[in-house]
Amino acid sequence: MKSRRVALGIRAQLLLVLTVFLAIPWLGYEYVRELERFLRDAQERTLAGTAQAVATALHDRPRLFEAAPVLGNTLATERTPAADGPPVVPAVAPPPAPAGQRSAEIEQIIQGLSRTTARIWVVNRDLDVLARAGTLKGARTPSPIPADATLPRLWQWLDQLLHPFYALVLKQPTEEFNEEQSGRILLPAREIDGALAGILTIDRRQTPDGKAVIVSAAHPIWVGDQVRGAVIVEETTNAVLAERNRAFERLFSIVLATLLIGSVALTLYASRLSARIRRLRDEAEAAIDEHGRVRGAVAASVAGDEIGDLSRSFSSVISRLSQYASYQQNMASRLSHELRTPVAVVRSSLDNLRLSPLPDETRVYIERAQLGLNRLTHILTRMTEATRLEQSLGDAERERFDLVKVVAGSVDGYRIAYPAKTIVLESPGDGIPVLGAPDLIAQMLDKLVANASEFAINDAPIVVRLTRIEESSEAQVRLAVENEGPPLPLAMQGRLFDSMVSVRSEHVGNEPHLGLGLYIVRLIAEFHGGSVRAENRIDGRGVIVTVTLPEASSSQL
């Protein structure tokens, strides 16, 4: 009857919306690249500044360049042992040649300007290395992310978890590079050429093994108008790289954590939402049964949001519906109650009139008025029957009795009450114990037989059939009253047992028909824990009303 299939739940929808936020890591990546570019520019400018500063210190000091270089004159190369050795100073080295002394002078100057992370060369026009200071590998590489005690534990844990992933994706700075080729360090020829041509030149190159990138800046050294040499400052990009990696890792971790927390929170929220909505749906469905009768109320939620509002409006709709239903059910009884007083006025007036001396011809009118009044009284009594029954069901006592005996006795009575009809009783020989009120069962059967006799066509028999059904768990007894006659209209089948519903057309008899008979049947059947249904006979030429009652178990008294 109900399709519970929801194609895409609220949770799935919200998670789908959440995928939009996957764009954030990409944005972050773009941002970090921008940052890297900026850092590189800054590094280049710094190197250029350093080169210029060194050159400034060496300008216009032709004496420094007069001596021949000590360190060989091949095209901008140097032997490794010298590179690693301590700066050549007079105190340590044996007394060098005068030229060497000059080189040492230059070295002294650049020693003062050198930075820890850069290497500075000074060459003359013949590309002889006059002096050198600093090393590329001395640069302190910052640990990828400093272990910060103030960071939350979760954060550290996440970092540790993600680190292998970052190591795979990002290029890690390393000191393990090798810039030598066949035992020689290559000097950047292009920059030197540029510098010796009098231009500040900046360039970058990869180490021969491809493990690091070296940025270098070369500045000319002027003596007068002449370029007498060049200062070359070199540095690896490791610091920038480390900085970039750190920024990226941090950003990525934050985004990931945010996304994780966000999706968990959203999932929880969506679960709660859909649970509330599902509960509301279940309550609303349970409140009204398949016949459209109000069965229970929907508890109004106190939540201040739209769902709470929906629940409150459901609740008020259901309660209004049930008020209307009870108004409808009580209408008959209230109407009859209200009518009783005016009827009593008419009746007592008529009675008084009858006792007065009146001409004989008026008697007949009094008699007629009396007859009409009696019918009216009868109608009023019938109207209250259902309400009275409802009241008496509340405190009716249940006893164990033999249903077969009660039904048989009642059928005997109906044979006297309806002499024109044939009433057939089909019942099992032995007794069927039922827990309930025999008076009420008899009253219920009265209604069923009265109903059947009214619809039965002339001489067709009314069949009262009593059968036991032994089904799985508990034994039940089925009491069916069958008559041949016009079938039930399809539209009415579910509602026949409601108050004030009747399928009779106006012409039938002069008994009042308020549609309460089958309602009373239903009340009594439900009182006994049973149910009732009406259906057309299979051949379509009659109606069977079946009451199913539970049989009393042997333990029940």
Closest approach, Cβ 356 to other proteins, in A, equals 9
- Residue 118 carries which side chain, given as an amino acid letter? A
Closest approach, Cβ 475 to other proteins, in A, equals 22
Among 105, 175, 193, 446, interactor with other proteins by CB under 8 A: 446
Whole-number Cα distances in Å, 296 to 116, 287, 302, 522 = 84, 5, 19, 18
**Contact status: 451 vs other proteins (CB under 8 A):** no
**Contact status: 422 vs other proteins (CB under 8 A):** no
Among 381, 422, 553, 556, interactor with other proteins by CB under 8 A: 381
Site string for other proteins, 168-207 (x = CB under 8 A): ----------------------------------------
**Contact status: 436 vs other proteins (CB under 8 A):** no
- For other proteins, the closer of residues 221 and 386 by Cβ is 386
**Contact status: 413 vs other proteins (CB under 8 A):** yes
Among 392, 422, 553, 556, interactor with other proteins by CB under 8 A: 392
**Contact status: 433 vs other proteins (CB under 8 A):** no
| Greatest alpha-carbon span in the chain | 172
- For other proteins, the closer of residues 348 and 556 by Cβ is 348
- For other proteins, the closer of residues 41 and 412 by Cβ is 412
Beta strands in 196-353 (DSSP E): 201-206, 213-223, 226-236
**Contact status: 375 vs other proteins (CB under 8 A):** no
**Contact status: 398 vs other proteins (CB under 8 A):** no
How many residues touch other proteins under the rule CB under 8 A: the total is 40
Closest approach, Cβ 294 to other proteins, in A, equals 24
Closest approach, Cβ 432 to other proteins, in A, equals 15
Q: Which residue has tokens 């009491």?
A: 479
- For other proteins, the closer of residues 122 and 520 by Cβ is 520
What is the C-alpha separation between 76 and 104, in angstroms, rounded?
18
**Contact status: 453 vs other proteins (CB under 8 A):** no
Task: Compute the radius of gyration of the chain from its Cα atoms.
Answer: 54
Among 36, 44, 283, 385, interactor with other proteins by CB under 8 A: 385
**Contact status: 384 vs other proteins (CB under 8 A):** yes
Closest approach, Cβ 506 to other proteins, in A, equals 24
Query: How crowded is residue 537: how many other Cβ atoms within 10 Å of its Cβ?
Result: 14
**Contact status: 377 vs other proteins (CB under 8 A):** yes
Which of 535, 530, 529 shows the shortest CA–CA distance to 547? 530
What is the C-alpha separation between 195 and 360, in angstroms, rounded?
151
Residue 78 corresponds to which tokens in the numbers above? 């140097």
**Contact status: 91 vs other proteins (CB under 8 A):** no
**Contact status: 445 vs other proteins (CB under 8 A):** yes
**Contact status: 212 vs other proteins (CB under 8 A):** no
Query: By CB under 8 A, what part of segment 313-342 binds other proteins?
Result: 337, 340-341
Cβ–Cβ under 8 Å, residues 28 and 258: no
- Cα separation of the two ends of the chain: 40
- Per CB under 8 A, the segment of 16-24, 56-64, 108-116, 407-415 that binds other proteins is 407-415
Closest approach, Cβ 13 to other proteins, in A, equals 57
Which of 491, 535, 489, 499 shows the shortest CA–CA distance to 520? 499
What is the C-alpha separation between 99 and 543, in angstroms, rounded?
132
Closest approach, Cβ 341 to other proteins, in A, equals 6
**Contact status: 442 vs other proteins (CB under 8 A):** yes
Cβ–Cβ under 8 Å, residues 229 and 65: yes
**Total number of residues shown for the chain:** 557
What is the C-alpha separation between 232 and 219, in angstroms, rounded?
7
Query: By CB under 8 A, what part of segment 339-358 binds other proteins?
Result: 340-341, 343-345, 347-349, 351-352, 355
Closest approach, Cβ 378 to other proteins, in A, equals 9
Closest approach, Cβ 385 to other proteins, in A, equals 6
CA dihedral 149, 150, 155, 160 (to 10 degrees): -20
Among 7, 8, 302, 416, interactor with other proteins by CB under 8 A: 416
**Contact status: 369 vs other proteins (CB under 8 A):** no
Cβ–Cβ under 8 Å, residues 528 and 403: no
- Residue 264 carries which side chain, given as an amino acid letter? V
Residues near 386 by beta carbon (within 8 Å), at least 6 away in sequence: 329, 332, 333, 499, 516, 519, 520, 523
**Interstrand relation of 462-470 and 423-426 (parallel, antiparallel or unpaired):** parallel
What is the C-alpha separation between 225 and 146, in angstroms, rounded?
50
Three-point CA angle 350, 351, 356, nearest 5°: 95
Closest approach, Cβ 340 to other proteins, in A, equals 4
CA 489, 492, 494, 495 torsion: positive or negative?
negative
Q: Name the residues that contact other proteins, by CB under 8 A.
A: 337, 340-341, 343-345, 347-349, 351-352, 355, 377, 380-382, 384-385, 388-389, 391-392, 405-407, 409-414, 416-417, 438-439, 441-443, 445-446
